[in-house]
Amino acid sequence: MRKIYDIHMHLIPEVDDGAWNLDMALTMVQMAYHQGVRKIFATPHSSAFREGPERVEAQYRRLVEHAGRLYPDLEILMGCEVLLTEFSLEQIIKELGEGRIPSMNGTGWVLAEFRQDVDAQEAEKCIDRLKSRGWNLILAHAERYRFASVDHTVLRSMAEKGCLIQVNACSLDREECVWIRENARWMLEERLISFLGSDAHRTFHRPPEVEGGTEYLYGHTEREYADAVAFGNAQMLLCGNGRKNGADGS
Positions that interact with Fe ion (CB under 5 A): 81, 199
The CB-of-234 to Fe ion minimum distance in angstroms stands at 16
- What angle is formed at CA 111 by the lines to CA 106 and CA 115, rounded to 5 degrees? 150
Q: How many CB atoms lie within 10 A of CB 207?
A: 16
Nearer to Fe ion, 175 or 199 (CB): 199
Q: How many CB atoms lie within 10 A of CB 104?
A: 26
Nearest-10 Cα torsion for 99, 105, 109, 110: -60
The CB-of-250 to Fe ion minimum distance in angstroms stands at 29
Nearer to Fe ion, 103 or 226 (CB): 103
Nearer to Fe ion, 50 or 191 (CB): 50
C-beta separation of 2 from 214 below 8 A: yes
C-beta separation of 75 from 68 below 8 A: no
Nearer to Fe ion, 27 or 47 (CB): 47
C-beta separation of 161 from 127 below 8 A: yes
| Cα distances (angstroms) measured from residue 57 to each of 12, 13, 32, 232 | 9, 11, 22, 27
The CB-of-19 to Fe ion minimum distance in angstroms stands at 12
Nearer to Fe ion, 95 or 199 (CB): 199
The CB-of-241 to Fe ion minimum distance in angstroms stands at 26
Nearer to Fe ion, 139 or 229 (CB): 139
Nearer to Fe ion, 213 or 225 (CB): 213
The CB-of-81 to Fe ion minimum distance in angstroms stands at 5
Which helix (DSSP H) or strand (DSSP E) does residue 137 occupy?
strand 136-139
The CB-of-45 to Fe ion minimum distance in angstroms stands at 7
The CB-of-8 to Fe ion minimum distance in angstroms stands at 6
- Which residue, judged by CB position, is nearest to Fe ion in the bound state? 199
| Distance from the first to the final alpha carbon of the chain | 46
Distance (Å, whole) CA 12 – CA 202? 11
